[in-house]
Structure 1
Amino acid sequence: MSLVLPSELVVERFLPTVRAMLATRLADRGMTQQEIAAELGVTQAAVSKYVSGTGGGDDRFRDDPETVATVDHIADGLAGGELDAYDALAELLSLVRSLEDRGPICELHEDVMPELRGLGCDLCVRGLDPDVRAERDVLANVRTAARTLASIPGMADSVPNVGTNVGMCLPEPRDETDVAAVPGRIYAMGGRIEIPANPEFGASKHVATAILAANDADPSVRGAINVATDDDVLEAAAATGIDPLEFDADYEDRGEHLRNRFEDRGEVPRVAYHRGAFGIEPATYVFGATATDAAELIETVLDVASSS
């Protein structure tokens, strides 16, 4: 993993671009290259390169509306005497904080550290507080679970026509926005598993409904995956010591129905399924303490099913 600090990108990519933008605008406002050099804290030779357009820079910042507006404001203030160096510095620091909050600096950081993609990283803005760590850990867990599913032999045969999804909730979830899942669901194409995007919170209503119902009954259960209902798979689950729970497919409030079934059982089973109904494809939910826990159980059960 390449360890790159956002501050390095500010120094290497942001500052040269902003200095070039400011130099050009200050020259347009009638300031000499020597005056511009004094304001920007660079040499006159550097200003000459900036003004001639050979000083480099990053178009990601040049084209960013907030950066353009801030640079124009600073240039007007410095040229007109309404801003001094302290004021200009304050404006630029405020801009940097804004661009780190899902802006161009954040985008650059994800480019040079691909490991950050899909984590909803707010580290620069909020710091490593417990909530951010919990969100990051859940997203990473769901992503790992999805990759595990893609590596399981024969998994494509267990994907329903409507697709599979894998989800995991935060501790003490309130609603589906506290459940991370794969946007657009996971599909089987040509015998392979296709994962269309990195996980996001609030991406799936169906798997979230099952997870929230299970978590209400047992807070230790935070992950679930839906697969196609198959008798061989159910028998394989039973062979591993699991007692699958059947529930009705044709009802309006699936979450409340599942809560009632879990209460009747006295626990959240590792596997719960229905046989479908008119317009409803048969589905099986595999639960786990985490999303990866559920994925590993699916791998175990499919291995048993293929061996029998």
Structure 2
Amino acid sequence: MTVQLPSEIVVERVLPTIRSSLAVALEQRGFTQREIADRLGVSQAAVSQYLSGDRTGDDRFARERRLQETVERIADGFADGTMDDYEALAELLAMIRAFEDRGPICAVHEEEMPALQGLGCDLCVRGQDRRLQAERDVLENVRRAVRTISNAPAIVDHVPNVGTNVAMALPDAADATDVAAVPGRIHAMRGQLNVPANPEFGASQHVATTVLAAAAIDPSVRAGINLATSDSLLEAARERGLDPLEFDPDYEDRHERLRSLFSESDVPRVLYHDGAFGIEPITYVLGETAVDAVETAVALTA
């Protein structure tokens, strides 16, 4: 892995793309190569390469609608005299700032540095702080947990129709936005698990609700996974000394009802409901971390 600054992406990828696109737009408006070179601050030979297609920049940025619109606006302004170099620079800086803040520059940065994936480039936007590190640790733990179940074929048979999810809360989480999970949930397809995206905060509702209720009573329990309720799953839990706790499947006030239940009987590692009209029977396996919860779930389904 190469350590790369986002400013390098701007200089090496975005700026050449802007110059190439702007050179073409200015030529279409009747500018000569010399005039284009003067506007862009490059040599006439470079302009010739832009116009011939030898230097086109990065397609990932060239396809961006905002870049295209900005280039057209600047070209029109140069052509009719309503925009000077200062105003053009202001337009480009605004675009680049937008691209850097969870935009296409952020996406390319994550491609170049996989260690940043799932962080939304918060390191660049917010800087390194203790909460950011906690978020990074949680996201990485959920990613590891997802890899674990992806390599456990037996768990496919226990994925509910609504899909399964793996969730983990930050320490002192306040609501679902402090819980990381897989957007769109994980589904069983052709005997395998389909993981649609990297984990993000705020991507779960029901698993997050259960995790938050558990963490409110026992802060060490911050993660969980949902599976389809079955006799075999519950029996496997009992055989391992994990006595499953049954709860009411109704969604209304579930967080408060679970908190009350946990405060009376301690937080279990396995809890379940048998469903109701329009509600599929679901079992939740809880743990201190996402990996912990998933490893328990894998053991129960093996």
Q: Structure 2 length as normaliser, TM-score? A: 0.84
Q: CA 1:302–1:92 in 2, change beyond 3 Å: closer, same or farther?
A: same
8 Å CA contact 2:214, 2:262 repeated in 1:
yes
Aligned residue in 2 for 1:290: 289
Aligned residue in 1 for 2:194: 194
8 Å CA contact 2:244, 2:268 repeated in 1:
yes
Aligned residue in 2 for 1:225: 225
- Mean alpha-carbon deviation: is it higher for 156-165 or for 108-117? 108-117
Q: Output aligned runs, 1:125-274, within 5 Å.
A: 125-250=125-250, 252-265=252-265, 267-274=266-273
Shift of 1:111: 3.8
Q: Structure 2: which amino acid aligns with 1:271?
A: V
Q: Structure 2: which amino acid aligns with 1:83?
A: D
Q: Structure 1: which amino acid aligns with 2:215?
A: N
Q: Structure 2: which amino acid aligns with 1:99?
A: F
Q: Output aligned runs, 1:57-76, within 5 Å.
A: 57-75=57-75
Percentage identity across aligned positions? 62
Q: Deviations over 1:195-214 (max 9, x none)?
A: 23322333222111111111
Aligned residue in 2 for 1:306: none
8 Å CA contact 2:106, 2:120 repeated in 1:
no
Q: Give the Cα–Cα distance (whole angstroms) in 2 for the partners of residues 194 and 55 of structure 1.
A: 39
List runs of 5+ in structure 2 lacking aligned partners. none
Aligned residue in 1 for 2:124: 124
Q: Give the Cα–Cα distance (whole angstroms) in 2 for the partners of residues 241 and 258 of structure 1.
A: 21
Q: Deviations over 1:281-305 (max 9, x none)?
A: 33221111221110112223344xx
Shift of 1:113: 4.1
Q: Give the Cα–Cα distance (whole angstroms) in 1 for the partners of residues 51 and 267 of structure 2.
A: 68
Q: CA 1:43–1:144 in 2, change beyond 3 Å: closer, same or farther?
A: same
8 Å CA contact 1:120, 1:136 repeated in 2:
no
Secondary structure at the aligned position of 2:168 is classed as strand
Shift of 1:156: 2.0
Q: Deviations over 1:266-293 (max 9, x none)?
A: x211111223344433322111122111
Q: Give the Cα–Cα distance (whole angstroms) in 2 for the partners of residues 59 and 163 of structure 1.
A: 36
List runs of 5+ in structure 1 lacking aligned partners. 304-308
Q: Structure 1: which amino acid aligns with 2:273?
A: H
Q: Give the Cα–Cα distance (whole angstroms) in 1 for the partners of residues 211 and 111 of structure 2.
A: 33
Aligned residue in 1 for 2:99: 99
Q: CA 1:174–1:16 in 2, change beyond 3 Å: closer, same or farther?
A: same
Q: CA 1:274–1:51 in 2, change beyond 3 Å: closer, same or farther?
A: closer
Aligned residue in 2 for 1:83: 84
Q: Deviations over 1:151-191 (max 9, x none)?
A: 22421232233332211122322322322222332233343
Q: CA 1:30–1:256 in 2, change beyond 3 Å: closer, same or farther?
A: same
- Mean alpha-carbon deviation: is it higher for 108-117 or for 183-192? 108-117
Q: CA 1:217–1:8 in 2, change beyond 3 Å: closer, same or farther?
A: same
Q: Give the Cα–Cα distance (whole angstroms) in 1 for the partners of residues 63 and 127 of structure 2.
A: 28
8 Å CA contact 1:97, 1:125 repeated in 2:
no
Q: CA 1:61–1:300 in 2, change beyond 3 Å: closer, same or farther?
A: closer
Shift of 1:2: 4.7
Secondary structure at the aligned position of 1:71 is classed as helix
Q: CA 1:60–1:233 in 2, change beyond 3 Å: closer, same or farther?
A: closer
8 Å CA contact 2:110, 2:121 repeated in 1:
no
8 Å CA contact 2:167, 2:208 repeated in 1:
yes
